[in-house]
Amino acid sequence: MVMSSGKSKRPLTILGMWLFLLFALSEAAWPKVSAAVSLDERHLLEVKVRQLSFDSTNKQPLVFLSDSRGQRALPICIGLFEANAIYSEMQGITHRRPLTHDLLERIIHASKGKIRRVIITHHKEGVYYATIEMDRDSSRIEIDARPSDSIVIALKFDSPIYVTKTLFEEMAIPMRVTNDLDELYGLTLQELTEPLAEYFSFGSTRGALVSDVQKGSLAERDGIERGDIFVEVEGKSVKDIASLKAMITTSARAVQAKIFRKSRFLSITLHPR
């Protein structure tokens, strides 16, 4: 069962964080962190955002946090707004006007604060809990927050994300075994469901979505990006992942493909071998 990052149950929503940070601009509002609530480094595991996906059961976005080996990942169910914010940070997308997380970033900068790290601490009654550690001058403050918001802030400030080792051991799941396309080309795909198609403003469920591109891989060199949707290969329509893999892995030469990226169709040359 995939656990939620929490919605109405959590004591500190995005609005709550914003109001708290506004209040925190006052020097007196920055309490020092007590040793009792500080987490020992030995009990923490650094993780990275592996990919965004959708839970087919409840039709909600999922964020996967993986360890350094990438063999296991902690899946957390999040909201669509937060998923969009995480995706924007991963893709380097900027918005014309500041969204809520952009506003939080500006407030933190204006208060001369620095995000030290984010920790996914525990779960209780189906809800994950997280803490944002922020430094300002000689003071440190711990902010109770939802994991989804915490991840966005960590990505904005290029700060490390940690999960307590006990939580990761208990809740992490094995990532699926890689195939030739993953290993040789560096491309991870997922099926294009109706919620995903709607999320990417794509008018069909025919195609294959790129959920991850391995750094330094052939796929990255070909210019493929996370969030691309494969539509055609050599003029043939891509129905699903199976059809795309068959088209790419059976070819011994460069192939031409059509992808959908950020509301536009683009042509790209693939070199799978």
Residues 3-174, CATH architecture:
Roll (3.10)
pTM of the model: 0.61
What pLDDT shows up at residue 173? 86
Domain ranges in the chain are 3-174, 180-270
Whole-angstrom distance, CA of residue 224 vs CA of residue 270: 9
pLDDT at 257: 93
d(CA 191, CA 207): 8
The residue assigned the tokens 């799978």 is: 272
Q: How many helices (H) and strands (E) does the chain have?
A: 9, 15
**DSSP letters for 202-264:** -S-S-SEEEEEE-TTSHHHHTT--TT-EEEEETTEE--SHHHHHHHHHT-SS-EEEEEEETTE
Sequence-separated (6 or more) residues with CB below 8 Å from residue 107:
18, 21, 22, 25
Buried b / exposed e along 114-153 (16+ C-beta atoms within 10 A): ebbbbbbbbbeeebbbbbbbbbbeeebbbbbbbbbbbbbb
Alpha helices in 25-78 (DSSP H): none
Digits of tens for pLDDT over the chain (273 positions)? 455 665 444 444 554 555 455 555 444 444 444 333 456 778 999 999 988 887 766 678 889 999 887 778 999 999 888 988 898 888 788 888 888 888 888 888 888 889 999 999 999 888 999 999 999 888 888 999 999 999 999 999 999 999 999 999 999 988 754 445 666 788 888 888 887 888 888 989 899 999 888 888 888 999 999 899 999 998 899 988 888 887 776 655 788 999 999 899 999 998 876
Q: Which of 161, 118, 142, 149 is nearest to 7 (CA)?
A: 149
What pLDDT was estimated at residue 17? 54
- Give pLDDT, residue 34: 39
Architecture of the domain delimited by 180-270: Roll (2.30)
Q: What size, in residues, is the chain?
A: 273
Which of 82, 73, 78, 84 is CA-nearest to residue 4? 78
* pLDDT at residue number 149: 94
